[in-house]
Structure 1
């Protein structure tokens, strides 16, 4: 896992907001799959740091999150 500022490494068009982000704009997470990794950032600070994980780690995180929702 890495936390770093990505700059131009991930194109803006690759980012999308979580479907669970509220419409008020206060708690938005954006995700991008690029360069063989999954990048996660806070939409309020798009130029700030992003969390970068491998696809397997991201899939494991999503599986755990879905289990907790059930």
Structure 2
């Protein structure tokens, strides 16, 4: 498992001014991503493989166009 504290976490640009519903994302050395709840960092983050992350982004972008 990747050393989670050593990852460079960044706040999602879509999280600001969203009533406290914030998420942070960190890129792993293999190109995957961890996503965590900014409000409760005691919860385990969700891991996306590189393939799953690309699929998530494509689906999200496609839904935005609907």
Higher relative CO (Cα under 8 Å, sequence separation at least 6) belongs to: 1
After TM superposition, the runs of 4+ consecutive aligned structure 1 residues lying more than 6 A away are none
Query: For the structure 1 residues 25 and 57, does the alpha-carbon distance in structure 2 shift closer, same or farther, using more than 3 Å as the test?
Result: same
User: Quick one: distance in 2 between partners of 1:25 and 1:9?
Assistant: 30
**Larger relative strand fraction:** 1
| TM-score (ref. length: structure 1) | 0.75
| TM-score (ref. length: structure 2) | 0.78
Structure 2 unaligned blocks of 5 or more: none
**Larger relative helix fraction:** 1
Q: Report the number of matched residues.
A: 64
Structure 1 unaligned blocks of 5 or more: 1-5
